[in-house]
Amino acid sequence: MRKAFIVASLLLFLVLAVPAGAQWAKAYGSGSEEAPMAVLFNSEGKLVLTGFTKSIFTTYSYGDVVPDETELEYRSWFMEISGDGTAVEKYSLGSQKAGVPPDSRILEWMRSLQPTVDGGYILAGHMETGWSEGSLITDYKCAFLLKLSSDLQIEWQRFLGNDDRDSVETVLSVEPTDDGGYIAVGSTSSFGMGGHDVWVLKLDSAGQVTWQRAFGGEGKDTAHLVRQTPDGGYMVVGYASSFQPEPDSPEGEAAGEVESLPASRIWALRLNPEGSPLWQQLCGRDNDKATSMALSSDGGAWIVGSTEPEPEEGQEPHCDILLFKLSEEGSVVFQRIFGNASNECITHLIQRSEKKFLAVGTQELDGDQDLLLIQFADTGHIDWMQVFGAGDVDGEISQERGAAVAIAERDEIIVVGNTSRLGPQENDLLVLRLNPEGRIPNCDLLRELERYPLKDQGTLPVATMVDFTASEVGDVEITFHPSLSPMGIIRDVCTAKKNLLRR
């Protein structure tokens, strides 16, 4: 009797400890195509997201019913969602370059979001603005960094670039550093060896550049990811096309008559605290891509991306998941390929615990896309996999795609992405709050997958590297004007699915 009482009490405690409806899946409709790029779970129990909205609009001449042209507009946003998914505050970040017409074309791509020690946030991305000066169309492309306080006020903003219309600067990843400053990476064409070069910037707490480095050659080289290492240095990952052998000319054609872009490969660089290289690896095969990176507790770096294997007879070309780990000294610890006849890609990877890593992305098979969630063991093998997708909805295939993943309280999993048909409108923001096993109770949209067959990637080649110190890049006068904007309709996806055609 006593044993039964203890068991009953324990079950009651567990029920009370985990709130009812703690796991959920919701779609947020705004009328435009949403592209989430990052998600965090903050100390207030809220989900914090950033990304950009893709809108299509048509321009007309005055009094003319015939459209002149159709254009795309990209606008960045920052969003807070309550822990139960029901309350949303969305801020649109409208930028404007000084001295140009207020109706000039503005494109913004927010790419990176990280928390800061003061409870605020550091964000990074790049933008493009265009305006007409007589018959001349002027374009300006620059990188930006934005520091927000804990109450979402702009503390400072930095725009890096110059007024040369042919130059392009981007920042694709930023992270706070132990000294209270920041490390950011991207690409620059304003200075360096030529083309686009990897760009690494160290900033102080006020956002001022203390040093910057460029790495590359005459091809297109860029950095997508950066993490500070335990020794105070930095791990940088991107891709490089500068170090590939020249392609052979087709038989019967003279050399130089065929223009072919050199293939790129994944490029990993380990830098010391001053930004000087300690080692580098050029990894994978031609045109492999790295999409995310996480540092492991032993000082190594997990890098995940995609590779396109040689298709078997009768098989369509497709992409597989590429995963490898580099040690603290730069040697290859393991390398794996996971895949089958479908297309798989991973967009975000995080370390969940000392021996567990989580990855989110998309699986595509026969035109149907499902959000893909994978947990890896520290050996690089798969613990479990889940997909989230609706399949056929009202006679059309619903596409669900994964973008980013984070860990919430009670070790729950937060995933953000897109859905084309499950939301109140098309191409809506999709947010999932899952239990530690990657599930939502009583939700038919989640399914467990069998493990992928494991393939050996082979040997990773090593490239040469060019290193030099970059000249200072000038700031430009552009400002952001955040404004609270309506999010639109919120739909409980799992509940709505019960009224839709089941898979």
Tell me what the mean pLDDT of segment 394-404 comes to.
87
Please check the confidence at residue 447 and state whether its pLDDT lies above 50.
yes
pLDDT of residue 165: 67
Please check the confidence at residue 5 and state whether its pLDDT lies above 60.
no
Tell me what the mean pLDDT of segment 263-291 comes to.
89
Contact 130, 138 (CB under 8 A): yes
**322-346 residue pLDDT tens:** 999 999 999 999 999 998 878 899 9
Contacts of 229 (CB under 8 A, 6+ apart): 235, 270, 295, 299, 328
* Long-range CB contacts (within 8 A, 24+) of 382-385: 382/338, 382/451, 382/452, 383/356, 384/437, 384/438, 384/448, 385/448, 385/449, 385/450, 385/451, 385/452
Residue 213: burial class (beta carbons within 10 Å; 0-12, 13-18, 19+): buried
pLDDT of residue 497: 60
Locate 332 and state its tokens: 């290859």
Note the Cα 283 to chain centre separation in Å: 20
**134-179 residue pLDDT tens:** 554 557 788 999 999 998 888 998 888 776 667 788 999 999 999 9
Residue 129 pLDDT class (50, 70, 90 cuts): confident
Write down the domain spans for the chain.
Answer: 288-319+341-460
Contact 235, 199 (CB under 8 A): no
Q: How far apart are CA 211 and CA 470, in angstroms?
A: 9
pTM of this prediction? 0.86
